[in-house]
Structure 1
């Protein structure tokens, strides 16, 4: 084979490998974006996934301790307890019945949220 062909094929293979590695398929799984009722219905399915959950703060469920908080997020009659670990600040709009999005993972039946 001539050198130009080998060089071109090598570049194509290296480019495809780089595309595969940087596309995220080996780096991490995608984030699951869903409402609380969807997650609670199939909790085991989402056990090891990074989640972005939407719902509303259940009135009277907020318990704050320094920069951390525990509360219940609800939607369509389904509820999920949330522990916010305080790595970021809670938004100013965080209050009873507020629309909320919590990012984190399921641990022992609750969402451990970092933001």
Structure 2
């Protein structure tokens, strides 16, 4: 009789552990789920402050300010602007500069600001062909 009671206790304990692991996995996935949106889409979202987002836009000219371990800048896109505050532990990319395309990952606040935990940036000039030299013949590639 004692073995039947032990088996029941073991089965109940195993079920509780399995249910706990399932709940932890589900809640972890829900927390880490991030939606990719543009500045315009984020500002138009009625429930924006309730989820994580990856928001993309262009860094506004002259908007980058660094002070006391915090960096703030403005993302703009399609005439809409979003103030971004970054207080993450990772250093910001060297390519985060005026007019760079950037993606900030974090949460939109009810005060209209975006608190980013990570920021990625790309300098568009690194991916464009160099302009031809003055007076050069554009038909030949040797002039570039």
Q: What's the counterpart of residue 74 of structure 1?
A: 76
Cα deviations across residues 40-62 of structure 1 (Å, max 9, x unaligned)?
112x4111212211111111111
Instruction: Select the structure of larger CA radius of gyration.
Output: 2
Deviation at 1:73, TM superposition (A): 0.7
Task: Give the aligned CA root-mean-square deviation in angstroms.
Answer: 3.1
Number of residue equivalences: 114
The structure in which a higher percent of residues are helix is 2
Q: CA separation in 2, counterparts of 1:31 and 1:94? A: 25
Mapping 1:88-103, distance limit 5 Å: 88-103=90-105
TM-score calculated relative to the size of structure 2: 0.60
Deviation at 1:77, TM superposition (A): 1.9
Aligned structure 1 segments of 4 or more residues deviating by more than 6 angstroms: 13-16
For structure 2, list consecutive stretches of 5 or more residues without a partner in the other structure: 119-144
Q: CA separation in 2, counterparts of 1:68 and 1:55? A: 20
Of structures 1 and 2, the one scoring higher in RCO (CA 8 A, sep 6+) is 1
Q: CA separation in 1, counterparts of 2:35 and 2:56? A: 8
Residue in structure 2 matching 1:109, options 109, 112, 120: 112
Q: What's the counterpart of residue 48 of structure 2?
A: 46
TM-score calculated relative to the size of structure 1: 0.73
For structure 1, list consecutive stretches of 5 or more residues without a partner in the other structure: none
Q: CA separation in 2, counterparts of 1:26 and 1:114? A: 17
